[in-house]
């Protein structure tokens, strides 16, 4: 926010009243307004115009102020140029370091849903242009798209404006074939307790909370069976993603549990698999048109995957060799 103020003389009100009025009104806006003042040559208001730009009576409790600049215009014919170049102040005082991600859009050349990642280009502290690179949303969000420990757990991403970029109830990026219609996060996260979580995400904060939420899971045929819904105790964990200011939230069910299998491998043994090119054998051994080898330890096949007339599960090595020899003779 910026105010351009031009005058050719001294004010009729007292200087203290003017500066206090500016301070009070800018405090209501959290000191977010910059004041750029301009004085024509011959005026006697250089000091007060400089004080207005510096906001010397500002209210510190409302936040840090953004100092403006006072410009004395010597030639009135150059007034348009002097006031029209106010954007130089912003290009020099607030250089953008972090990349800016555009709203995703459909690429006309067949890349699907993409976003442009842009950064300004400066030369000698002057803004000269902007450079961008396009990135597929499928690549950018691939880790989130396939996240899901159970049927009831999921993750979603929103941008700084609260628009959903990824949610299990939205089409996946690779399936989009037209410019998308973005939904606000409140359209799909409707639990009343989730409101505080979403506000915290929009502020760029991180946190964790547990509360009951509605979960809808599809089942069977969409016409005959549809979906099943239930209220479950959910754990919401969210964090800001740098440097794009997106916010990620992972939702899990409190009753979910995870089983970790212990390591049962024996380091003194080697596992042989079907790489006969690593060993010298008299000929290829095949069983049911598949290359096989007899070694210890060997993979145990289930009974349903075997021909009942020729079972080789749990057979000794000699019997297995006999079967291989019989196969080679054929």
Would residue 260 count as lying in a domain?
no
249 and 147 in a single domain? The answer is: yes
Half-sphere exposure of 78 (CA within 13 A, CB side): 11
Q: What pLDDT, on a 0 to 100 scale, did the predictor assign at position 277?
A: 55
Q: What pLDDT, on a 0 to 100 scale, did the predictor assign at position 132?
A: 92
N- to C-terminal Cα separation, the chain: 87
- Residue 123 and residue 131 in contact, taking contact as beta carbons nearer than 8 Å: no
Would residue 266 count as lying in a domain?
no
Would residue 265 count as lying in a domain?
no
- Residue 11 and residue 22 in contact, taking contact as beta carbons nearer than 8 Å: no
Q: Identify any residues that bridge with 216 across adjacent strands, giving them in sequence order.
A: 229
How many domains does the structure of the chain reveal? 4
Label residues 89-120 b or e (16+ Cβ within 10 Å = b).
Answer: beeeeeeeeeeebeebbeeeeeebbbbbbeee
- Residue 218 and residue 226 in contact, taking contact as beta carbons nearer than 8 Å: yes
Here the tokens at position 303 are 């009974």
Q: What residues make up the domain containing 131?
A: 100-137
Neighbour-count burial of 239, counting CB atoms closer than 10 A to its CB (0-12 exposed, 13-18 middle, 19+ buried): middle
195 and 292 in a single domain? The answer is: no
- Residue 157 and residue 144 in contact, taking contact as beta carbons nearer than 8 Å: yes
- Give the SS3 label for residue 76: helix
Q: What pLDDT, on a 0 to 100 scale, did the predictor assign at position 326?
A: 47
pLDDT in tens, the chain (330 residues): 888 888 887 888 888 888 999 999 998 888 888 888 888 876 677 888 888 888 888 888 888 888 888 888 888 888 888 887 776 776 665 666 778 888 888 888 878 888 888 888 877 767 788 899 998 888 888 777 777 666 678 889 888 888 888 888 887 777 777 777 788 888 888 888 888 898 899 888 899 998 888 777 666 665 666 677 778 888 899 998 876 678 999 988 887 766 676 766 666 666 555 555 555 555 566 666 666 655 444 444 444 444 454 444 444 444 444 444 444 444
Count the neighbouring beta carbons within 10 Å of the beta carbon of residue 39.
21
> E-strand spans in 143-206?
154-158, 164-166
Q: Which helix (H) or strand (E) holds 202?
A: helix 194-202
Q: What pLDDT, on a 0 to 100 scale, did the predictor assign at position 191?
A: 84
107 and 158 in a single domain? The answer is: no
The alpha carbon of 148 is separated from its chain's Cα centroid by a whole number of angstroms, namely: 17
- Give the SS3 label for residue 123: strand
Q: What pLDDT, on a 0 to 100 scale, did the predictor assign at position 249?
A: 92
Residue with tokens 């961008």: 132
Here the tokens at position 155 are 């993750």
CA–CA distance, 136 with 109 (Å, rounded to integer): 12
> CA-CA distances (angstroms) from residue 175 to 138, 140, 158, 186, 282?
9, 15, 19, 23, 52
CA–CA distance, 124 with 121 (Å, rounded to integer): 10
CA–CA distance, 249 with 165 (Å, rounded to integer): 12
Is pTM, for the whole model, over 0.75?
A: no
Would residue 39 count as lying in a domain?
yes
Would residue 261 count as lying in a domain?
no
Sign of torsion over alpha carbons 217, 200, 246, 140: negative
Would residue 14 count as lying in a domain?
yes
- Give the SS3 label for residue 100: strand
20 and 104 in a single domain? The answer is: no
230 and 282 in a single domain? The answer is: no
- Among 166, 156, 172, 151, residue whose Cα is nearest residue 228: 151
CATH of the domain at 76: 3.40.50.410
159 and 192 in a single domain? The answer is: yes
Q: What pLDDT, on a 0 to 100 scale, did the predictor assign at position 265?
A: 63
């Amino acid at each position: 926010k910026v105010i351009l103020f031009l005058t050719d003389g001294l004010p009729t009100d007292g200087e203290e009243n003017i500066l206090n009025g500016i301070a009070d009104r800018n405090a209501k806006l959290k000191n977010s307004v910059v004041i750029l003042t301009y004085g024509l040559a011959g005026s006697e208001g250089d000091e007060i115009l400089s004080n207005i730009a510096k906001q010397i009576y500002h209210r510190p409790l409302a936040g840090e102020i953004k100092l403006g600049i006072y410009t004395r215009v010597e030639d009135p014919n150059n007034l348009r140029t002097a006031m029209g170049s106010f954007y130089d102040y912003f290009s020099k005082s607030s250089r953008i370091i972090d990349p800016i991600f555009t709203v995703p859009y459909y690429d006309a050349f067949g890349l699907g849903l993409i976003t442009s990642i842009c950064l300004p280009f400066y030369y000698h502290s002057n803004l000269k242009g902007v450079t961008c690179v396009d990135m597929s949303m499928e690549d950018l969000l691939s880790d989130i798209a396939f996240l899901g420990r159970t049927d009831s757990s999921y993750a979603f991403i929103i941008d700084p404006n609260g628009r959903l970029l990824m949610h299990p109830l939205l089409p996946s990026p690779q399936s989009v074939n037209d410019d998308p219609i973005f939904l606000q996060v409140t359209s799909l996260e409707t639990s009343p307790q989730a409101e505080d979580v979403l506000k915290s995400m929009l502020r760029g904060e991180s946190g964790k909370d547990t509360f009951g939420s509605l979960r809808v899971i599809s089942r069977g045929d969409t016409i005959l069976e549809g979906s099943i819904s239930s209220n479950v105790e959910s754990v919401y964990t969210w964090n800001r993603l740098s440097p794009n200011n997106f916010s990620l939230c992972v939702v899990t069910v409190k009753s979910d549990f995870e089983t970790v299998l212990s390591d049962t491998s024996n380091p003194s043994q080697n596992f042989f698999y079907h790489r006969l090119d690593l060993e010298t054998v008299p000929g290829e051994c095949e069983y049911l048109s598949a290359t096989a080898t007899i070694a210890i330890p060997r993979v145990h096949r289930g009974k349903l995957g075997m021909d009942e007339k020729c079972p080789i599960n749990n057979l000794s090595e000699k019997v297995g060799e006999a079967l291989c020899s019989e196969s080679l003779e054929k």
